[in-house]
Amino acid sequence: MSTEAQEIYDRLDFISDLHCDALLWGRDLTQKGSIGHVDFPRMREANVGLEMFTIVSKSPSGQNMKSNSADTFDNITPLTIAKGVAPNQWFSLLNRTLGQAESLHQFIKEENGKVIFVHDKKSFEELISARNTDKTVVGAMLGIEGAHALEGSLENLGKVYEAGIRMIGPTHFFDNELGGSAHGENGAGLTDFGKSVIKRMNELNIFVDLAHCSPAIVEDVLEITTKPVMVSHIGVQSVLNSQRNLSDDQIRKIAANGGIIGVAFFDMAIGVPEIDGIVATMKHIRDLVGVEYIALGSDYDGAVEVPFDITGLPLIVEALLKEGFTEEEIRAIMGENVKRFFLKNLI
């Protein structure tokens, strides 16, 4: 780690990551762990101001990037039972989702004001203000990977909103009631139910996350949404030609929508070696549409290999610096873009 890179990292006012699945595993996020990638102590060690904690409620057996059936055995069921949570979460996707949300709220309560739950513009501004005088204060938001968690009910969207969820991906690794997954079987766009969910999300100011959506859903969402979208963790096809990754046309449309793109850290999104892929992906987006649309989207604590935990983020600064990124560009990527996006779009 170069002295220059560390000094730039130490000067960063706001660092943010848009995707972490730590709630899935049942770890105590108030304690520094020796496994996994994110907890509150390690966020403080890395001076990370905000983490998006994403909720996984179902994952198909044999999960892969190319094709998954919604009917295969669900990997999350045995994990849910093994965690010792309430039986009402064992077989209900909605209850699993609400249970993970409640776990985060409980961890935040135990932190006695040192973690701020961000769910609107006021709470986000409170986080920014608190960190101006105390960098040990960190922020947490909630998202959902896959709207199958709604169990086909628009009413349940209100329930997850009340639980504080402010970002939802229509699909995850399989097709569902809203439409097709990038890793599913039908490649479909939004169903009528899917369109009604997107419209209601707009009304509630829940951000749409396009990370695992079929190209047809990406097109449909960008056509009907009245709000900027997010892509919480992804790569680009120009760096790694994967059906999971964004095409240049999609990147342009997301930028035109005012959206933000979280660059993932794992090999199936950005290739190997991962740090080179992360920087190449960021460079491609910058050169195509501008640096202001780039964010960190690690996929920490997901079912993927990443090159470092959250305390390793200075290595990204070093790699960006070596590739000629300016300090202003680095500040934007590491968190200022996310800060601007939420200040503009949270209500």
pLDDT category of residue 1 using cuts at 50, 70 and 90: confident
Torsion sign over Cα 227, 228, 234, 238: positive
Residue 75: the pLDDT is 85
- 71-76, Cβ contacts within 8 angstroms, sequence gap of 24 or more: 76/24
- Token look-up 């999971």 returns 244
pLDDT in tens, 46-58: 999 999 999 999 8
Q: What are phi and psi of 139, to 5 degrees?
A: -120, 155
Q: What is the pTM of this model?
A: 0.95
Structure tokens at 213: 């959506």
Q: How far is CA 5 from CA 2, 111, 152, 265, in A?
A: 5, 31, 48, 19
Contact 19/297 with Cβ under 8 angstroms? Answer: yes
Residue with tokens 């695992």: 212
Instruction: State the helix-helix crossing angle for 93-110 and 155-162, rounded to 10 degrees.
Output: 10
In the predicted model, what is the mean pLDDT of residues 125-129? 98
At residue 186, the pLDDT reads: 85
Q: Is 84 left (phi over 0), alpha (psi -120 to 50) or beta?
A: left
Residue 212 has pLDDT above 70, yes or no: yes
Beta strand extents in the chain (DSSP E only): 16-20, 50-56, 115-117, 138-145, 165-169, 207-208, 230-234, 260-263, 294-296
55 phi and psi, to 5 degrees?
-105, 125
- 230 beta partners: 209, 260
Predicted confidence at residue 304, as pLDDT, reads 87
Is beta strand 207-208 parallel, antiparallel or unpaired with respect to 115-117? unpaired
> Distance (Å, rounded) from C-alpha 19 to C-alpha 16?
9
pLDDT at residue 220 greater than cutoff 80: yes
Report pLDDT digits (tens) over 232-251.
Answer: 999 999 999 998 899 999 99
Question: What is residue 207's predicted lDDT score, i.e. its pLDDT?
Answer: 98
Indicate the pLDDT class of residue 178, thresholds 50, 70 and 90: confident
Overall average pLDDT of the 5-20 stretch: 97
How does DSSP assign 17-56, residue by residue?
EEEE-GGGGT--TTS--SSSS--HHHHHHTT--EEEEEEE
Q: What is the pLDDT of residue 67?
A: 64
Within its chain, how far is the Cα of 262 from the centroid? 7
Cα(183)–Cα(171) distance, rounded to whole angstroms?
A: 9
Of 244 and 292, more confident? 292
Measuring CA to CA, which residue among 266, 263, 267, 271 is closest to residue 231?
Answer: 263
| 330-347 per-position pLDDT tens digit | 999 999 999 999 999 999
pLDDT tens digit string along 256-271?
Answer: 999 999 999 999 999 9
Lowest mean per-residue pLDDT among 7-16, 182-191, 196-205: 182-191
d(CA 271, CA 276): 8
Q: Pairing mode, if any, of strands 260-263 and 294-296?
A: parallel
- 3-state SS, one letter per residue, for 268-313: HHHCCCHHHHHHHHHHHHHHHHCHHHEEECCCECCCCCCCCCHHHC
Alpha-carbon torsion (57, 61, 64, 67), positive or negative: negative
Distance of CA 178 to the CA centre of its chain: 19
Which pLDDT band holds residue 73 (cuts at 50, 70, 90)? low
